[in-house]
């Protein structure tokens, strides 16, 4: 069978997409840097999902060998319409859902994964069988296309929900509540969020246009986005050191009393009625300020590189709203106050230990990592 030049370009674009997707899955499987390899689910929370999602693109091999077959083209369009929002939603939910320690997304994703597998398995089977089974407008095919459209809208709704989860997390992990910008991978979230948006936009546009040229361009653009995603996903975006993580895992494995109260800062405590600003007298504010300075500066609570407003209010034994209000009014805000204490401690360490490395100073001063130290130094000292 003779293929036109357009068919060959279409096949080459599909080959590029399958090769890049397979490379992403293989690299994610084999790239396990020490010491993070022992805690893959913490430092790379979505590594299993990445492997599964990207290996699924192998079914597009039908387009490689049958670039002028209408069934293979329709299978590709179904993959674009359903697979793109489903994969993007899955990866966002798995990575940031695990980071936020929420599991509400698991059951819906598993159910939709089963439906997606059935639909794509059916379309792939029909594409492999000689003839134009999908193109033939039978009742079965009409039902197949109808279900595909409905599921595509459901997957898109799931993707939008994943974006909402990330946006809410970015707002919640603001500088007014957290002293370490690495407590939540907010920088990575803001950097990576445009990739799935472009992926879905490209996939849907190419699928709706439906021509081989549009589909070829879409495959190439998605391949480039996948390569960019791989580069960004190779390094861990969570700063908790391995030794501390292992200690916390040991503590979590020990049985806890049944009467344990919820931590301050949890959803339950955050929803309680908050005192008004007028209820704090100036004398009370001064007393709260002294208590905060005692624990943060004298007791050096700032050396905890994961100190939060909630944990500080718990240490001080003072309502979180009072602590936040006093710090905002008298100390320039929680993030600024705590990190200025850390910068002062780092400067003192440099004088006392001129031979100490930046990593040692950053860790000893409560920054956790050298990069966090540099980022905060540039931010507060500029």
Per the CB < 8 A criterion, the answer to whether 244 and 303 are in contact is no
Asked whether residue 205 carries a pLDDT value surpassing 90, the answer given is yes
What is the predicted pLDDT for the residue at 97? Answer: 86
Sign of CA dihedral 352, 358, 359, 363: positive
Q: Is the pTM of this model over 0.75?
A: no
- Alpha carbon distance 298, 314 (integer Å): 17
Average pLDDT on 66-82 reads 90
Backbone phi, then psi, for 136, in 5-degree steps? -65, 120
Instruction: Count CB atoms within 10 A of the CB of residue 219.
Output: 26
Cis, bond preceding 19 (omega within 30 deg of 0): no
- Alpha carbon distance 27, 290 (integer Å): 53
- Alpha carbon distance 76, 61 (integer Å): 10
| 227: its two tokens | 């390569």
- Which has the higher per-residue pLDDT, 73 or 40? 73
- Buried b / exposed e across 134-168, counting CB within 10 Å, b at 16+? beeeeeebeebbeebeebbebbbebbeebeebbee
Instruction: Count CB atoms within 10 A of the CB of residue 5.
Output: 7
What is the predicted pLDDT for the residue at 256? Answer: 42
- Which has the higher per-residue pLDDT, 239 or 321? 321
CA atoms within 13 A on the CB side of 244: 9
What is the predicted pLDDT for the residue at 262? Answer: 41
Q: Where in the chain is the domain with CATH 1.10.10.60?
A: 280-381
What is the predicted pLDDT for the residue at 138? Answer: 62
Average pLDDT on 177-189 reads 74
Q: Mean pLDDT across the chain, nearest whole number?
A: 83
Average pLDDT on 274-293 reads 78
Asked whether residue 382 carries a pLDDT value surpassing 50, the answer given is yes
In angstroms, the Cα distances linking 209 to 14, 62, 213, 305 are: 17, 20, 9, 51
Asked whether residue 182 carries a pLDDT value surpassing 70, the answer given is no
Asked whether residue 364 carries a pLDDT value surpassing 50, the answer given is yes
Which residues have CB under 8 Å from 154's CB, separation 6+?
112
The backbone region for 189, taken as left when phi is positive above 0, alpha when psi lies in -120 to 50, beta otherwise, is alpha
In angstroms, the Cα distances linking 31 to 24, 27, 28, 170, 224 are: 10, 5, 5, 28, 20
Asked whether residue 194 carries a pLDDT value surpassing 90, the answer given is yes
Confidence band (pLDDT; 50, 70, 90) for 61? very high
280-381 is classed CATH 3.40.630.30: no
5-239 is classed CATH 1.20.1070: yes
């Amino acid at each position: 069978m003779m293929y036109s030049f357009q068919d060959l370009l279409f096949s080459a674009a599909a080959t590029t997409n399958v090769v890049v997707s397979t490379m992403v899955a293989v690299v994610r499987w084999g790239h396990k840097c020490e010491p993070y390899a022992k805690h893959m689910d913490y430092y790379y929370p979505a590594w299993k999902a990445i492997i599964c999602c990207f290996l699924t693109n192998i079914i597009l091999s039908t387009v490689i060998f049958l670039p002028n077959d209408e069934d293979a083209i329709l299978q590709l369009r179904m993959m674009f319409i359903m697979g793109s929002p489903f994969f993007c939603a899955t990866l966002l939910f798995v990575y940031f859902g695990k980071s936020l320690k929420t599991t509400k997304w698991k059951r819906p994703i598993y159910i939709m994964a089963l439906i997606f597998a059935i639909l794509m398995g059916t379309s792939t089977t029909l594409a492999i069988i000689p003839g134009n089974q999908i193109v033939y407008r039978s009742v079965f095919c009409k039902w197949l296309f109808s279900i595909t459209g409905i599921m595509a809208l459901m997957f898109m709704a799931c993707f939008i929900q994943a974006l909402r989860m990330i946006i809410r997390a970015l707002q919640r992990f603001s500088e007014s509540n957290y002293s370490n910008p690495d407590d939540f991978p907010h920088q990575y979230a803001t950097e990576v969020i445009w990739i799935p948006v472009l992926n879905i936009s490209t996939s849907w546009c190419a699928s709706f246009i439906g021509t081989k040229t549009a589909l070829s361009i879409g495959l190439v653009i998605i391949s480039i986005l996948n390569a960019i995603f791989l580069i960004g996903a190779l390094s861990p975006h969570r700063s908790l050191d391995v030794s501390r993580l292992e200690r916390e895992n040991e503590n979590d494995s020990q049985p806890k009393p049944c009467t344990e109260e919820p931590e301050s800062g949890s959803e339950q405590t955050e929803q309680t009625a908050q005192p008004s600003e007028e209820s704090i007298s100036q004398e009370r504010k001064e007393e709260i300020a002294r208590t905060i300075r005692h624990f943060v500066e004298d007791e050096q609570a700032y050396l905890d590189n994961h100190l939060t407003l909630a944990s500080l209010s718990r240490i001080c034994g003072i309502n979180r709203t009072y602590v936040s209000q006093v710090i905002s009014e008298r100390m320039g805000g929680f993030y600024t106050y705590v990190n200025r204490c850390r910068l002062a401690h780092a400067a003192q360490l440099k004088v006392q230990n001129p031979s100490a490395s930046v990593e040692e100073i950053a860790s000893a001063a409560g920054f956790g990592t050298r990069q966090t130290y540099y980022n905060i130094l540039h931010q507060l000292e500029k």
